[in-house]
Structure 1
Amino acid sequence: MSAANITVISAKPVVLPAPGRGTDLQVRVSAPATGGDLPVVVFSHGFGWSMDGYAPLADFWAERGFVVVQPTHLDSRTLDLAAEDPRTPRIWRYRIEDLTRVLDGLDTLEATVPGLRGRLDRDRVAVAGHSWGAQTASVLLGARVLDSGGVPGEDMSDPRVKAGVLLSLPGLGEDLTPFAAQHFPFMKPSFDTMAAPALIVAGDHDQSHLSTRGPDWFTDSYVYSPGNKSLLTLFDAEHSLGGVAGHQVAETTDENPARVGLLQQLTTAYLRSALFPGDTSWKSAATAMETDLNPLGKLQSK
């Protein structure tokens, strides 16, 4: 769908009841004002962010025919959860449950957002996320969290999710720094069972203080997961990939509108082809990347 003359409606906060969470789940819903059978993308924000971030992606996708749902997780700075709060050690699981709760609550979202009723296509659902949000989304695609003995934990994948877009997804847990291993023990993923299709995006200058390795740490999900994956490596990109969280955001150390523009175009093409069999958007975009030798990045698939 072209973005020409497309009006986007956005509603927030839309509240989903969340018994046992301590506070109900607030989400933002963005959608084109017209059209039906709209695919859904549930987006998980990075640490400290909220439903108000990531406009460069959420708005772009909504302008092109997707309904984008952005939950505010408990780690958001807008909620100011205390470090000693008993929920803190379990926040990573609450995050995953937030995404599942959104999928369970699509009827409520349709009924609450003006003009949205009857327009969602529940058979075309994707998840996306950035940083910690990418780790959250990856679990619904089949990734597992290893316990202290290296045994995969609970399978929390969701068959309703057909594909994912994973931005700056942290890698394997054996490469954590001592600080990260102590404070973030849940950062021990196994990608062996992450079988759902996904586009993984990594910056080749993304040096994390949580890892003892270099930027290639962020490609582990591509290397160690089963096939039907694509990896977009963005040249000179750091953790914010040029500014996906927002325009002129303080945390963005590598602001680059052209890089974000490429990411917008490629993620949209990927989502359309992943959710609509027969759509050739991704094939065309991949061919163009290979043919033109794009100076902003490279693409590979398996």
Structure 2
Amino acid sequence: MDKAKHFERSQDTAHDQACDPGRRALLTRAAAMSAASAMLGAGGWTALPAWAADTAKPAAAGEAAVRQGVWRDQKRLRDVPWRLRLPAGEKPVALVVFSHGLGGSLDGGTEWAQAWADAGIATLHLQHAGSDRAIWSGGLAAVKAAASAEQLIDRGHDVQFAVEQLLQLQKSGDAAWARVRPDALGMSGHSFGAQTTLAVAGRDFQMRSAPDLSESRFKAFAAFSPSAGHFPGGIKGITRPMLCLTGSLDGNPLGQERDGRYRRAVYDTLPAGAKALLWLEGADHMTFGGGGERGAGFGQRLLGRERDGAPEKLAAHHAAVIKTITTDWWRWRLLEDEGAIARLKAPKGLNADDEWLQG
């Protein structure tokens, strides 16, 4: 099998659909990006002259402040909606960039972000045009078409662009962004966002023409419902800390897989050292969406698939464990918190069939 097919098959995305159009789309996209770069010059990402639709939600005492807007990437002529959630106070904070799943929005992962904010960790949620909630208007055909290599490339560059923007704003003196610690950045996402996270973490697509989607300024990652795809070898190149979260019912909402074993394969494939796995018995794909996410379960409902009763029955337990472990993961990996390191050696609150592994 040639390298182009390897790249195509490795991009199973949020619902593990084989990428289409594959090599042609990849080469076309890479060529277009190169041409745009040549026309715009080699000065890197084009900075915004001002905030675009920047709004702030007043925060009550002790609550996280929420600010959101739209950045314009002039290099790609592409808008990137964002939402910044800042912990209460004025202290410098670590920040996690969050990427939503297929058919999602800025609301994806909100439940996790609120828990992280309570622990002093900021989040920057991104919305990805072409694979966000707008695709649902076209039905299942449009959803499956959005699960492509081209969309993964756009997502990876959205993340790179966003990091450049937040670092520029951090230096600008803006009171909100000035609190962000450039040395304490993490990346996370659910489903297609988990695929985006793997790509940004340095997944090797083993194809000469594949664009570089990695972002070196992230210290650690957390992938909610990741998947290795048909060609998992490139995951072996990820050496920075990676937390994988999945469970026994975390199947493919639009495909044939009905359990989370194929998602667990990501942890098994990652090189030994800085990886970790949270496996929750009875957890499904919606469990890991973090609330407010239409795409996490909408696809399977369109296919007439009812949700199993176990995830709903265990929802409170699952959410509590996810919040506790991911919070300690960030506090360890981004802030070197000794207490978090100790707690993660033997996390509390797990049920008998849940698993926590580090290796």
Deviates more, 1:138-147 or 1:227-236: 138-147
Q: Which residue matches 2:83?
A: 28
CA distance in 2, matches of 1:27, 1:34: 21
Q: CA deviation at 1:71?
A: 0.6
Q: Which residues of structure 2 form unaligned runs of 5+? A: 1-60, 299-306
Aligned to 1:244: 290
Match for 1:104 among 156, 164, 167? 164
Q: Deviations over 1:64-98 (max 9, x none)?
A: 11110001101112477975999x76211110111
Tell me, yes or no, if the aligned pair for 1:11 and 1:113 is still in contact at 8 Å. no
> Partner amino acid for 1:273?
W
| 1:231 paired residue number | 277
TM-score under structure 2 length normalisation: 0.69
Q: Provide, for residues 141-171 of structure 1, a one-character-per-residue CA deviation record: whole Å limited to 9, x for no partner.
A: 1113355xxx794443222010001110022
Aligned partners of 1:169 and 1:221 also within 8 Å = yes
The equivalent residue for 2:193 is 133
8 A contact 2:285–2:296 mirrored in 1: no
- CA–CA distance in 1 between the matches of 2:296 and 2:220? 31
Give CA deviations for 1:240-262 in whole Å, capped at 9, x if unaligned: 22662339998284331221111
Q: For residues 247 and 210 of structure 1, do their structure 2 counterparts lie closer, same or farther at Cα, with a shift above 3 Å needed? A: closer
Residues 145, 152 of structure 1: 8 Å contact kept: no
1:273 aligns with 2:332: yes
Instruction: Name the % identity.
Output: 24
Which structure has the higher relative contact order (CA within 8 Å, separation 6+)?
2
Contact 1:144–1:153 (Cα < 8 Å) also in 2: no
1:43 touches 1:129 (CA, 8 Å); kept in 2?
Answer: yes
Higher helix share: 2
Letter in 2 for 1:53: G
Pair 1:77-2:133 in alignment: yes
Pairwise CA distance, 1:210: 3.6
Tell me by how many angstroms 1:130 deviates: 0.5
Q: Contact conserved, 2:103 with 2:135, CA < 8 A, in 1?
A: no
User: For structure 1, which segment, 269-278 or 39-48, has the greater mean C-alpha deviation from structure 2 after superposition?
Assistant: 269-278
Map of 1:182 onto structure 2: none
Query: Which amino acid counterpart does residue 326 of structure 2 have in structure 1?
Result: T
* Structure 1 residue aligned with 2:229: 172
Unaligned segments of structure 1, at least 5 residues: 175-187
Q: Based on CA coordinates, which of the two structures has the bigger radius of gyration?
A: 2
Within-5 A mapping of 1:8-47: 8-12=64-68, 14-47=69-102
- In structure 2, what is the Cα distance between the partners aligned to 1:10 and 1:210? 36
SS of 2:297's partner is coil
Match of 1:194 in 2: 238
- 2:76 & 2:316 partners in 1: Cα distance? 37
Q: CA deviation at 1:30?
A: 0.3
Specify the code of the residue in structure 2 equivalent to 1:265: T
Structure 2 SS opposite 1:204:
strand
Secondary structure class of the residue paired with 1:50 = coil
> What residue number does 2:302 align with?
none
**What residue in structure 1 maps to residue 8 of structure 2?**
none
1:294 aligned residue: 351
Conserved in 1, the CA contact under 8 Å of 2:92 and 2:181?
A: yes
**Cα distance between partner residues in 1 of 2:281 and 2:97:** 27
C-alpha distance in 2 between matches for 1:249 and 1:258: 22
